[in-house]
């Protein structure tokens, strides 16, 4: 048998050298493993319009289980043990960062979810004990504005009420010239980004129309300020202002967009101060009664100039079924239909129901009924009416004296005509005027048609349309990361676990939904909004929120709470892109 000729001392030296190499290799491997775990848990880079990245789920839980504090031990266990301890310190830092990120994400979520609580409170503020009703500067509207003021102040906004009852809340730039300026004007060179909607409702209305756009804007700006305050590297590149418009529906004075027309500068042009409500009060007298100025000079000061504004963006329920059919909680509006509102008065002659022969009657109800039927018929038959979203509605009808045994001698009704194509809408308005006059002449009644409101259709700003689309994508990304962070945290803290009901700590519900970038809905709006009035002075954008069965202007109007939260988060991500700037990046670019 062959003998090993290597001397004993020589074999000992070789063995020690091999062990030394193995020890060094173990140290290198230990450092490498720790570095990989840290890299997995703390990915480098931040999306342009996202929140702070949460610790990635993959490495953290396994790192905590697998590394421990004992390290890898051998004869020189002290060295290898120190390596393991170092990895433990690194991973403890990762765990802390993960917890801080989850805490921040939970705050963003809680603020956005608070939108639902605000809506619930406003739904309980009404001029009626039996249904929801708030009209221009009514007691209910003033109480609702008081609540909105409180929420604006809690969000850190500078708040004031203008001469027509619009409530403004502004987030100023640091040291901005606009702070404390009379009337809320911005400083030179500062372009203002406006958000908002209306505080008034229709009679027996729903809890989301208008108010959703106000409170979603407040919670989105609250999150914007939170992000701004938590990162010294960020700055506000333009002031952001939330407006609760005093009147959009136009029920009290038969004139829509009273609030937003004051801001866009067309209020006085329409002569609204002399308008009267059903009780005979003028708008001017109502302003004076509630302690606001009815001076034309003061109202003129509310108007904002085109060069002062960056744009106006409004969140609103869809008031239609498209988003529900697409199974998407939010979508972007590409255009708003133009709108004409007419007020028709029909004068005839009252008489006894039993004594006046049929061929001698000047019955205004019969004449009005034929007119209304003709409006519907002409609207349906008009070429390409469906493709251009042409709709004609008679939503209000009144008769005098209104007795069962008296032939009506006076009637009046409203006509609402809307269409994406302004030329088509104008042609239909002309057709309606001719048709109604013909019917009146044939039935021996007088017919007076007054234009109460006229607004051209408008296209949303392509910049805002794309930015809102990315805001929705950003909200979806946040929802996904938040869900993953909660799942990871649940492996350490069982209270964080997300159960089968989609709820985790403190009953939080999952807001994650199925979506990809290509499926973000972009749709047209057939309803008029304050954005339509604001388009006369600045670019506009709109975010639609799904409502159940498309029902609106009804107590059955309903939006899922998760969709409300998603809307606020989508607007927040839009604001991050449009209103924040990275100081470091901007300074580097300037250099």
Give per-residue pLDDT as tens, 480-503. 999 998 888 766 555 444 444 445
Residue 583: predicted pLDDT: 81
Instruction: Render pLDDT for 359-403 as a digit per residue (tens, 0 to 9).
Output: 999 999 999 999 999 999 999 999 998 888 899 999 999 999 999
Of 88-102, 320-334, 343-357, 422-436, minimum mean pLDDT range: 88-102
Instruction: Render pLDDT for 127-154 as a digit per residue (tens, 0 to 9).
Output: 999 999 999 999 999 999 999 999 999 9
Q: Mean of the per-residue pLDDT values for the chain?
A: 83
Q: In this structure, what DSSP letter does residue 379 have?
A: H
Query: Structure tokens of 132?
Result: 């929801």
Model confidence at 121: pLDDT above 80: yes
Residue 383: predicted pLDDT: 92
Model confidence at 94: pLDDT above 70: no
Do 269 and 291 lie in one domain? The reply is yes
Do 183 and 330 lie in one domain? The reply is yes
Q: What is the mean pLDDT of residues 331-355?
A: 95
The answer to whether 64 and 91 are in contact (CB under 8 A) is yes
Model confidence at 439: pLDDT above 80: yes
| Domain-located, residue 406 | yes
- Among 520, 529, 524, residue whose Cα is nearest residue 573: 520
The answer to whether 244 and 145 are in contact (CB under 8 A) is yes
Task: Please tell me the distance from the alpha carbon of residue 289 to that of residue 497, in angstroms, as a whole number.
Answer: 56
Do 387 and 302 lie in one domain? The reply is no
| Domain-located, residue 478 | no
| Domain-located, residue 326 | yes
Domain boundary residue, one of 408, 423, 456: 456
Do 535 and 566 lie in one domain? The reply is yes
Domain boundary residue, one of 456, 480, 499: 456
Q: In which domain, by residue range, is 249 found?
A: 112-337+459-471+521-590
Residue 100: predicted pLDDT: 83
Q: How many domains does the chain have?
A: 2
Instruction: Render pLDDT for 538-579 as a digit per residue (tens, 0 to 9).
Output: 999 999 999 999 999 999 999 999 999 999 999 999 999 999
Query: Which stretch, 22-31, 186-195, 322-331, 479-488, has highest mean pLDDT?
Result: 322-331
Q: What is the mean pLDDT of residues 224-253?
A: 95
Strand partners, 455: 339
| Domain-located, residue 182 | yes
Q: What is the CATH number of the domain that holds 418?
A: 3.30.70.360
Do 299 and 387 lie in one domain? The reply is no
Do 159 and 298 lie in one domain? The reply is yes
* pLDDT band at residue 31 under the 50/70/90 scheme: very low
Model confidence at 53: pLDDT above 70: no
Do 195 and 330 lie in one domain? The reply is yes
| Domain-located, residue 264 | yes
Q: How far, CA to CA in Å, does 546 sit from each of 120, 212, 359, 492, 522?
A: 18, 12, 52, 36, 13
- Among 530, 528, 524, 523, residue whose Cα is nearest residue 213: 530
- Among 96, 73, 90, residue whose Cα is nearest residue 31: 90
- 409 backbone dihedrals φ, ψ, rounded to 5°: -105, -10
Residue 12: predicted pLDDT: 44
Do 318 and 463 lie in one domain? The reply is yes
Q: What is the mean pLDDT of residues 34-45?
A: 40
Better-predicted residue by pLDDT, 464 or 15: 464
Do 256 and 349 lie in one domain? The reply is no
Q: Is the peptide bond before 401 cis (omega within 30 degrees of 0)?
A: yes
Do 262 and 153 lie in one domain? The reply is yes
């Amino acid at each position: 048998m062959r003998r090993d000729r290597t001397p004993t001392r020589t074999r000992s030296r070789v063995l020690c050298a091999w062990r030394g190499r193995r020890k060094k290799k173990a140290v290198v491997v230990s450092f490498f493993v720790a570095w990989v775990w840290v890299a997995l848990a703390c990915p480098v880079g931040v999306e342009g319009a996202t929140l702070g990245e949460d610790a990635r789920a993959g490495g953290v839980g396994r790192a905590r289980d697998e590394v421990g504090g004992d390290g890898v031990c051998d004869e020189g266990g002290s060295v290898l043990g120190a390596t393991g301890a170092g990895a433990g310190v690194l991973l403890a830092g990762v765990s802390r960062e993960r917890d801080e990120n989850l805490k921040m994400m939970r705050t963003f979520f809680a603020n956005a979810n608070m939108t639902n609580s605000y809506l619930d409170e406003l739904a309980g503020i009404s001029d009626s004990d039996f249904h929801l009703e708030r009209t221009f500067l009514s007691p209910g509207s003033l109480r609702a504005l008081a609540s909105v003021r409180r929420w604006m102040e809690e969000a850190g906004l500078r708040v004031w009420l203008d001469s027509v009852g619009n409530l403004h809340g502004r987030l100023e730039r640091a040291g901005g010239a606009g702070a404390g300026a009379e009337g809320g004007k911005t400083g030179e060179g500062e372009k203002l980004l406006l958000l908002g909607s209306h505080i008034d409702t229709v009679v027996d209305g729903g809890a989301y129309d208008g108010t959703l756009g106000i409170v979603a804007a407040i919670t989105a700006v609250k999150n914007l300020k939170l992000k701004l305050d938590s990162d010294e590297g960020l700055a506000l590149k333009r002031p952001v202002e939330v407006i609760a418009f005093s009147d959009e529906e136009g029920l009290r004075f038969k004139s829509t967009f009273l609030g937003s027309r004051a801001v866009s500068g067309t209020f006085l042009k329409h002569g609204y101060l002399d308008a009267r409500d059903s009780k005979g009060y003028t708008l001017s007298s109502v302003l004076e009664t509630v302690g606001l100025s009815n001076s034309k000079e003061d109202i003129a000061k509310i108007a904002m100039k085109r060069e002062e504004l960056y744009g106006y963006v409004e969140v609103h329920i869809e008031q239609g079924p498209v988003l529900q059919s697409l199974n998407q909680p939010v979508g972007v509006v590409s255009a708003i239909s133009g709108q004409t509102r007419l007020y028709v008065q029909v004068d005839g002659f009252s008489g006894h129901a039993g004594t006046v022969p049929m061929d001698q009657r000047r019955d205004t109800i019969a004449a009005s009924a034929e007119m209304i039927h003709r409006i519907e018929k002409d609207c349906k038959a008009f070429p390409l009416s469906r493709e251009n979203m042409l709709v004609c509605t008679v939503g209000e009808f009144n008769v005098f004296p209104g007795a069962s045994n008296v032939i009506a001698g006076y009637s009046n009704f409203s006509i609402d005509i809307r269409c994406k194509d302004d030329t088509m809408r104008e042609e239909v308005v002309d057709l309606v005027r001719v048709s109604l006059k013909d019917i009146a002449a044939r039935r021996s009644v007088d017919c007076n048609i007054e234009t109460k409101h006229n607004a051209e259709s408008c296209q949303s700003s392509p910049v805002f349309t794309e930015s809102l689309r990315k805001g929705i994508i950003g909200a979806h990304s946040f929802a996904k990361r938040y869900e993953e962070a909660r799942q990871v945290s649940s492996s350490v803290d069982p209270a964080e676990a997300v159960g089968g009901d989609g709820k985790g700590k403190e009953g939080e519900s999952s807001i994650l939904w199925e979506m990809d970038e290509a499926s973000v809905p972009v749709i047209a709006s057939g309803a008029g909004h304050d954005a339509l009035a604001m388009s006369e002075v600045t670019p506009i954008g709109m975010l639609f929120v799904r409502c159940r069965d498309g029902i609106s202007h009804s107590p059955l109007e309903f939006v899922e709470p998760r969709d409300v939260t998603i809307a606020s988060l989508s607007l927040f991500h839009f604001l991050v892109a449009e209103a924040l700037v990275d100081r470091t990046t901007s300074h580097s670019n300037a250099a």
